[in-house]
Amino acid sequence: MKNKTMKKITAILMTAALSCMLLACGSEKADSNANGEITYKVGICNYVDDASLNQIVDNIQDRLIQIGNEKNVVFDVKYDNCNADSNVLNQIVANFIADDVDLMVGVATPVAMAMQGATEENKIPVVFAAVSDPLATGLVDSLEVPSGNLTGTSDFLDTTAVMNLIFANDPEADNIALLYDMGQDASTTAIASAKAYLDEKNVSYKEYTGTTVDEVMLAADQMVADGVDAVFTPSDNTIMTAELSIFETLSEAGIPHYAGADSFALNGAFVGYGVDYANLGVETANMIAEILIDGKNVSETPVKTFDNGTATVNTEVTESLGLDLEAVKKAFEPYCSKVVEIKTAENFDDLNE
């Protein structure tokens, strides 16, 4: 009887030890194949098809493949794009849950918020990417100690720095357009900051909004009619998707567009100022690996922020505006860490063709 009891205790201890080993390696749900490789299921949902967000997704996937090869693990990535449709978004998240993913990745604020609501009970880890203000949207309680099952990377925009660029290029500007989508939570804080900056400087401004490409095009026509001196847009995904449709309207009217991401400049804005989205994607993948492979606690994994001191100038638009590129770069230098040049294209990959 004593031997049977000891055998039971030994079996329990071995099971517990095995469980601890699995936890140390990351998700309890992860499987392993005949080669000893552990497989982690990762569901990535992109909010909309635009250059910045696509660049993030590409770099997440590439970095996960690299980490998998280094760590002898496999990331079974399920990718989808909701194209800014909330019903499709909710279905994608539901599919991830049904597929029993080990971790979800929400690219942009609306996706992260949908994943937050869907994981309140099951507590599936969520790593968000390119959320401009995770505190204001209630995704985390603290950037240092998120406290829930969400953490990730933020592309928080230094609005003051962008506004400084406007007046460095044109000190006499006195009629600024604020172009954004009122439904984009990512724009709320940045637009409020822009207004405060302009109020303090005693410069007039007017808000122009749109929720579709057609509405943004109409807003661009109205800005031209109103004779604005410059346009400011934060890292707003709705305006980003419309940039290729409005940049010629603005540049031909001599109106420079300053926006909160290098992808805007890629798609025809005069200046895009913000984080390096390729690096943001890499760091998002590193966080995924830390949580799944290293067993890092999501609630204790700080939200990662970045220096957004790079001004990306579209050289073709600069010429269209009748500006001297070297003079522009010299004017910008005191207000950013570096100035880089870019030409108009739909995607970053197009630049290499």
**Tokens 């220096």 appear where?**
307
Beta strand ranges found along the chain (DSSP E): 31-32, 38-46, 73-81, 103-107, 126-129, 150-152, 175-180, 204-209, 230-233, 257-259, 271-274, 310-314, 338-342
CATH number of the domain at 159-275+308-352, please? 3.40.50.2300
Query: pLDDT, tens digit, for every residue of 246-283?
Result: 999 999 999 999 999 999 999 999 999 988 999 999 99
Cα–Cα distance measured from residue 272 to residue 289, given in angstroms and rounded to the nearest whole number: 30
pTM: predicted TM-score of the whole model, two decimal places: 0.83
**Cross-strand bridge partners of residue 129:** 107
For residue 36, is pLDDT > 80? no
For residue 311, which of 235, 260, 267 has the smallest C-alpha distance? 260
As a whole number, mean pLDDT of residues 33-37 equals 66
Cα–Cα distance measured from residue 75 to residue 73, given in angstroms and rounded to the nearest whole number: 7
Neighbours of 267 (CB within 10 A): 27
As a whole number, mean pLDDT of residues 129-156 equals 94
Domain definitions of the chain by residue range: 28-156+277-300, 159-275+308-352
What is the CA 240 to chain-centroid distance, rounded?
12
Please enumerate in sequence order all residues whose Cβ is within 8 A of that of 340, keeping only pairs 6 or more positions apart, or say none.
262, 310, 311, 312, 313
**Tokens 């609501």 appear where?**
117
Q: Strand pairing of 38-46 and 103-107?
A: parallel
Give 169's pLDDT tier (boundaries 50, 70, 90).
very high
Give 337's pLDDT tier (boundaries 50, 70, 90).
confident
Instruction: For residue 81, give the amino acid letter.
Output: N
Do the domains spanning 28-156+277-300 and 159-275+308-352 agree at the CATH topology level? yes
**Cross-strand bridge partners of residue 311:** 273, 339
As a whole number, mean pLDDT of residues 94-122 equals 97
pLDDT at 34: 56
Instruction: For residue 64, give the amino acid letter.
Output: L
DSSP tag of 148: S
Contacts 24+ apart (CB under 8 A), 25-34: 25/293, 25/295, 26/102, 26/291, 26/292, 26/293, 26/294, 26/295, 27/102, 27/103, 27/125, 27/292, 29/100, 29/102, 30/102, 30/292, 33/74
Please enumerate in sequence order all residues whose Cβ is within 8 A of that of 124, keeping only pairs 6 or more positions apart, or say none.
96, 97, 101, 102, 103, 104, 149
- Tell whether domain 28-156+277-300 is in CATH 3.90.1580.10: no
Cα–Cα distance measured from residue 309 to residue 160, given in angstroms and rounded to the nearest whole number: 11
Beta-carbon-side half-sphere exposure of residue 290 (alpha carbons within 13 Å): 17
